[in-house]
């Protein structure tokens, strides 16, 4: 099956079911090979890259340790992550399953380290939700994709954003939709490069300090829009 047909079918399925995360990973895997390689090369220039990829207890293990997360201080990134995933009834391993089902082929079979890097970025997705302040409502997901595109440059992200905006404009109008989206692009551009964040350590730190360290300011326009259009949250 050629790439265009695969992408078109995935977009159609995602349009029918916005919760079908598998289709997101299909689109990103088909279109993201070059961006993924560039991100991996950049990551490997980090002083602690090898330590992060070869740690005996990886990021997934930390994120799945609910007892440990719950024991962290109130207001820490790890505790906020625990509260977020509990409230939303999601988990890091659930996202991993969707990724495994949606990814086309095994592009990392000859580069185990790049595979570990890719999985690390996938596992950190909901941490990005917490540190940026974007929720799992449709507008929050689209906005976080804008952040992600500025950070990673996968063109598949732009396709998914376009699909999301076409759906949201009926509720918000094009002008408001663009203002919220532009805020996400700016946040992603100004933030430090999140793939090299040492999440295992940051989980133990106060969320406010993590945001300051990563140069992230929670999105004001997004929050104001949720207040003005509560039906966005009701649609979850």
| Residue ranges covered by each domain of the chain | 3-234
pLDDT digits (tens, 9 = 90+) for 15-60: 888 778 888 888 888 888 899 999 999 999 999 999 999 999 999 9
pLDDT above 60 for 236 = no
- Provide the phi-psi class of 133: left if phi over 0, else alpha when psi is between -120 and 50, else beta: left
Instruction: Classify the phi-psi angles of 27: left when phi > 0, otherwise alpha if psi is within -120 to 50, otherwise beta.
Output: alpha
Which pLDDT score is estimated for 118? 92
Range 67-77 average pLDDT: 98
Please give the pLDDT value at position 102. Answer: 47
Instruction: Express each pLDDT in 118-177 by its tens digit.
Output: 999 999 999 999 999 999 999 999 999 999 999 999 999 999 999 989 888 888 998 999
The pLDDT tens digits for 165-192 are: 988 888 899 899 999 999 999 999 999 9
Report the C-alpha gap between 146 and 153 in whole angstroms: 10
**Mean pLDDT computed over 59-84:** 97
**pLDDT (average), residues 1-23:** 82
pLDDT digits (tens, 9 = 90+) for 210-222: 999 999 999 999 9
pLDDT at 75 > cutoff 50: yes
Note the pLDDT tens digit of each residue in 79-91: 999 999 999 999 8
pLDDT score, position 203: 99
Higher-confidence residue of 105 and 71: namely 71
DSSP state, residue 105: S
Q: What is the mean pLDDT of residues 92-108?
A: 61
98 pLDDT higher than 80: no
| 5-to-10, 12, 149, 158, 164 alpha-carbon distances in Å | 9, 11, 23, 17, 20
**Rounded to an integer, what distance in angstroms lies between the CA atom of residue 125 and that of residue 123?**
6
CA 131 to CA 35: how far, in whole Å? 23
């Amino acid at each position: 099956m050629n790439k265009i047909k695969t992408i078109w079918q995935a977009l159609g399925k995602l349009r029918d079911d916005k919760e079908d995360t598998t289709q997101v990973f299909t689109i990103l895997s088909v279109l993201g090979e070059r961006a993924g390689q560039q991100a991996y090369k950049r990551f490997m220039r980090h002083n602690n890259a090898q330590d992060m990829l070869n740690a005996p207890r990886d990021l997934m293990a930390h994120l799945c340790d609910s007892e440990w997360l719950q024991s962290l201080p109130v207001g820490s990134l790890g505790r906020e992550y625990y509260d977020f995933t509990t409230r939303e009834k999601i988990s890091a391993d659930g996202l991993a399953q969707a990724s495994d089902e949606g990814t086309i082929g095994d592009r990392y079979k000859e580069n185990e380290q790049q595979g570990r890097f890719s999985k690390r970025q996938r596992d950190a997705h909901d941490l990005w939700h917490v540190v940026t302040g974007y929720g799992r409502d449709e507008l929050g997901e689209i906005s976080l994709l804008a952040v992600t595109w500025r950070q990673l440059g996968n063109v598949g992200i732009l396709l998914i954003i376009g699909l999301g905006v076409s759906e949201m404009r009926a509720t918000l109008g094009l002008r408001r939709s663009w203002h919220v989206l532009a805020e996400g692009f700016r946040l992603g551009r100004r933030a430090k490069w999140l793939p090299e964040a040492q999440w295992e350590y940051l989980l133990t730190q106060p969320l406010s300090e993590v945001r300051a360290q990563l140069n992230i300011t929670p999105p004001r326009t997004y929050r104001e829009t949720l207040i003005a259009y509560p039906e966005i949250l009701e649609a979850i």
